[in-house]
Amino acid sequence: MFDCRECQRLESECDRAIEGIRAVVRERFISVREKVFALREAQEVRDSRLRLLYDHRRNHPRKSPVHKRKRAVPSQEFPALVLVS
C-alpha cells in the first residue's frame, strides 16, 4: 500500500466504479439492450477512473517509503513497469 492520499483516493474511486459495474450486473433490467447500455456506461466510468490512477502513478514521486530515498532518475523508468507494479 502507498502512503499517498491521492493514490488512496483514486484507488477507492476505482473500487467504487467497479462496484458500480457489479451493481448493473446484479440489477434486473426491462431489456437486455438497456442492461448492455448501462453496463457500457459503468465500464466507461471505471476506465476513466483507472486512467486517472495510472496517470497519477506514472508521475508519482516514488513508491512506498516516500521520503527515505532520493528520487531516482525518472527517465530510466519505463511507464509500462509502473503500470504493472
Using CB under 5 A as the criterion, which residues of the chain lie in contact with Zn ion when the complex forms? 4, 6-7, 60
CB of 24 to Zn ion, least distance (A): 29
Q: Which is nearer to Zn ion, 24 or 53 (CB)?
A: 53
Q: Kindly list the distances between the CA atom of residue 78 and the CA atoms of 4, 51, 63, 65, 83, in Å, as whole numbers in the listed order.
A: 21, 17, 14, 20, 9
Amino acid at 64: S
CA distance 6 to 3: 9
Cβ closest to Zn ion, residue 26 vs residue 70: 70
Least distance (Å) between residue 36 CB and Zn ion: 34
